[in-house]
Amino acid sequence: MCGRFVITHPDAALARLFGARPANDLPDTPRYNVCPTQPVATIRSEGGTRLLAPMRWGFLPHWYKSETDGPLLINARAESVATKPAFRAACRERRCIVPASGFYEWTKDDEGRRLPWYIARPGGAPLAFAGIWQDWEREGRAHRTVAIVTTEAAEDMATLHHRCPVVLEPADWALWLGEAGHGAATLMRAPAPGTLAWYRVDPRVNSNRAEGPGLIEPLAA
């Protein structure tokens, strides 16, 4: 799964990388502890134009009567996203990309304490998470919301955690965004072994209020 992530790459750099037009209301960067329900930058395609714009992280199905009317849907499982009522229309019609510099996962020690790990590309290049989005509105409150698609982790990462975000490579972006015909389902697979690397980081990140570059510094042995 993916429950927290990091985005340090500037908006202008992301706009160039993805060939997208940036909105004026993107969240500030860098952010070292992006949490559910916060706004996140996303890329979607409208009429052949890519847009870099914010969405609320936490997918709200259209039948939710309030933001807390059901489970907080921050992730969508690749195995069921095309058939689950909450996600199936978005999977067909409203796919997007969530850029990230890295993300966190946790293991536990023998005493049950949560041990955080930072996961990123070995060279530091941005990650492109597969996402799906949904507009939601009730009683004057409106959100454009997003969930990150996850899948079973590849063999190397499965030693750390059994789930992983779907990471899209540049050659896959057009297909996922609906610009290159059908077949996006074939992209919902684990990153190839070696795509990601990880190391232990400070347990301060266990708090959703923690922030700052120290959160992604390797933990001293």
Which of 216, 15, 33, 43 minimizes the C-alpha distance to 128?
A: 43
Residues with catalytic function: 2, 105
Name 13's Cβ contacts closer than 8 Å, sequence gap at least 6.
Answer: none
d(CA 114, CA 34): 18
Beta 163-165 vs 197-200: how paired, if at all? unpaired
**Which residue, 86, 92, 65, 89, is CA-closest to 74?**
86
Residues 6+ apart with CB under 8 A from 139: none
User: In Å, how far from its chain's centre is CA 96?
Assistant: 10
Query: What residues does 145 pair with on adjacent strands?
Result: 56, 134
